[in-house]
Amino acid sequence: MSFTIRPYRRGGWEVDIVITYPNGEKHRERRKAPVDSKAAAKRWAKERELFLLHLGRPPRRGENIDTPPEEVPTVPTFAEFVPRYLEYVKANRQKPSTRRSKETICNCHLIPVFGHLRLNEIGPADVERLKAKHANHSAKTLNNALSIFNSILACAVALGVLEASPVRARWVKTTLPSMPFYDFDEFERLCASAHRLGEQYELIVLLGGCAGLRCGEIRALRWSSIDFARGFLTVERAYSLDEVLVPKGDKIRRVPMPKRLQAALQAARTKQDPSYVHVLTLRDRDQPPAYFTVRKWLNKAQARADVLVRGPHILRHTYCSHLAMTGAHVMAIKALAGHSEIETTQRYMHLSPQTLRDAVDRLDGVAARGNGDAAETRKRASRNSE
């Protein structure tokens, strides 16, 4: 049992199948595949080969043999293909949190709209139905769903389920959200509140607000990543659900420690069991707390400081905002925060009055040089005329 694929003289692909049946009879079939690409022609040849093997050879001219009609392979429905897509996402080693997010969006947003449709039947009108159904959701939520929808169709093409994507969803326009952060006085109150509550509370606030670590990076921080002699800490690990991976964007970064953060870490190290590996631990155990435990501790400190009660990411926003407000260069903020895109960093730059002042000063400098050059030109012209 074998087949050969070769270009057809009038375009497309010719399939040449040779089968030997158990009774020794041979059958050869050469015909043009009813598909366009070579990969699809190979799949069709395999299916045709199995069909001929199990159901016998087709009748020769003049023979009267009833054979069942050939089954045309069907494209799976959207709901049937989603589990295969999620396996594809897992095989490509996307973060556990990303996989969970995609699964949730598929189940809650996409399958209710597209689940009953075959992949090749989905059209622009169906995409508009999704947008209409999510009219009351935020633009970011809808765009996340549309992005994963496009990713599912692209996966179907990559796996050979579709020849080409039948439609591509376009994102809706969004406005950049404001970034909540603590001003300098509020952050000082939060630091004081966390200090009174205990060492772990203070470390969470300082690592987020004075070094810009994400919650997963705080939980995964180890003593081996801290260089007290040089005053640096290296962000090289992060928790994604219950797995320790590299930080977001696969970016390992070195962050200078402010004096107050370094002092707090040194004090914590002297009190902690020397055999412990993690900086942030549960009581009497070398095990980092879960995300919701960290959030619970932070919320307690926030409530006592009488500041906005939010998740740990507000500390990272505070870090970037304070850098911008004190005149740090946009590229320095990008490097310290580990942003992948400069657009992310620029969302904080409206807080930097020094940046605007420098821009205007540069214009004044250009104008002054221009006026000087013009005056010199007039003097030269006057001398030449004399």
Strand order through the sheet with 232-235: 226-227, 232-235, 253-256
Q: How far is CA 227 from CA 232, 286, 316, in A?
A: 5, 20, 21
Contact 308, 182 (CB under 8 A): yes
Report the alpha-carbon distance of residue 13 to residue 39 in Å, rounded: 10
- Which amino acid makes up residue 171? W
Cα–Cα–Cα angle for 356, 362, 368, rounded to 5 degrees: 140
Alpha-carbon span 23 to 26, nearest angstrom: 9
pLDDT, one tens digit for every residue, the chain (386 residues): 577 888 887 788 888 888 877 777 787 888 888 878 888 888 888 877 777 776 666 666 655 555 455 555 688 999 999 999 999 999 988 888 899 999 999 999 999 999 999 999 999 999 999 999 988 988 999 999 999 999 999 999 999 899 899 999 999 888 777 789 999 999 999 999 999 999 999 999 999 999 999 999 999 999 999 999 999 999 999 998 788 888 887 889 999 999 999 999 999 999 998 899 999 998 778 899 999 999 999 999 999 999 999 999 999 999 999 999 888 889 999 999 999 888 888 888 777 665 566 667 777 766 666 666 656 666 666 666 55
Strands 26-32 and 13-20: antiparallel
Provide the token pair at 198.
């205990």
Phi, psi torsion values for 379, nearest 5 degrees: -65, -45
**What integer pLDDT is reported at residue 72 of this predicted model?**
53
How high is the pLDDT of residue 76? 93
Q: What are phi and psi of 282, to 5 degrees?
A: -80, 165
Q: Is 128 exposed, middle or buried (0-12, 13-18, 19+ CB in 10 A)?
A: exposed
Terminal CA-CA length for the chain: 104
> Helices 78-91 and 139-158, interaxial angle, to 10°?
80
